[in-house]
Amino acid sequence: MLIEVCIMRGWRWLEGWLELDAFTYPSVLRACATSGLIQVGKQVHGYALRRQDFSFHLDNSLVSLYYKCGKFGEARAIFDKMPAKDLVSWNALLSGYVSSGHIGEAKLLFKEMEEKNILTWMIMISGLEKKV
């Protein structure tokens, strides 16, 4: 509860005094995701939409926020609307599916991926290992 109060007060302070950018949005969203504060995260998301602030960093952070808070439909919707996806984007969503036990969705996403790196394989292997 204390962390929620701190983040809410911090968000209100940030909103009034600090220009949010590609680096500060992810920090605020990461704090919301870690604390499970989906409502604050949605406020930040709405603020970014109103200001038309879009970036890889913001989109990837939103994907992480929504899947960490159990909102997989929202995470996938953000991912699908991204104009361009990098490997971080794909791995973020893949990690969300795997960590929440949605291995079927993870397999489908894995097959969609044109590029994979060692982290991609590690995420997928860890998910398959948990399933066994």
Tell me: the pLDDT tens digits for 49-105?
887 777 788 899 999 999 999 999 999 999 999 998 999 999 999 999 999 999 999
Give the CA radius of gyration of the chain.
15
Whether residues 11 and 71 share a domain: the answer is yes
Give pLDDT, residue 98.
96
Q: Is the pLDDT of residue 11 over 60?
A: no
User: What is the DSSP track for 26-85?
Assistant: HHHHHHHHHHT-HHHHHHHHHHHHHHT---HHHHHHHHHHHHHTT-HHHHHHHHHH-SS-
Find the length of the chain.
Answer: 132
Give pLDDT, residue 58.
86
- Closest by alpha carbon to 116, among 92, 94, 87? 87
Whether residues 102 and 78 share a domain: the answer is no
Q: Provide the domain limits for residue 77.
A: 1-84
Whether residues 47 and 110 share a domain: the answer is no
Whether residues 98 and 76 share a domain: the answer is no
Number of domains in the chain: 2
* pLDDT top residue among 13 and 76: 76
| Most confidently predicted of 25-29, 36-40, 51-55, 75-79 | 75-79
Whether residues 55 and 98 share a domain: the answer is no
0.85 exceeded by the pTM? no
C-beta separation of 95 from 107 below 8 A = no
Q: Using the CB atoms, write b or e for 71-87: b if 16+ within 10 Å.
A: bbebbbebbeebeebee
